Amino acid sequence: MTGLEPLIPIALFFSIAATAILRGPLGKALAERISGQAAERSASLDDGEVRAELDEVRYRLHDVEERLDFTERMLTRGQQLPKLEEGDGRDGP
């Protein structure tokens, strides 16, 4: 016994994990990147498509900013409201 026996299952595990990862979407993207197909695809976008996508992102960012402002106003308004005492203000038991 050389003391290297525990390395066999570890090596087997990493081999199986690497195979599973590289056969999936990550491996396909890496293969496209190496072959140069990814660069060709990104270069094929014209200025109109890029501008349209940029406009959509700007619109969505503006919408998110408005929602954030509304939420901030509601939170500050909630802090300014007077707190109710023990009851809820109704008559009854």
- For each successive 10 residues of the chain (93 residues), what is the average pLDDT? 78 88 86 74 71 92 93 81 60 54
Torsion of the alpha carbons at 59, 63, 69 and 71, rounded to the nearest 10: -160
Estimate to the nearest angstrom the gap between the alpha carbon of 93 and the chain centroid. Answer: 51
**How far apart (Å, rounded) are the C-alpha atoms in residues 71 and 31?**
45
What is the reported pLDDT for 64? 93
What one-letter code names the amino acid at 82?
P
**How far apart (Å, rounded) are the C-alpha atoms in residues 74 and 66?**
12
Q: Which residue has the tokens 């500050």?
A: 76
What is the reported pLDDT for 68? 92
CA 73, 74, 79, 81 dihedral sign is positive
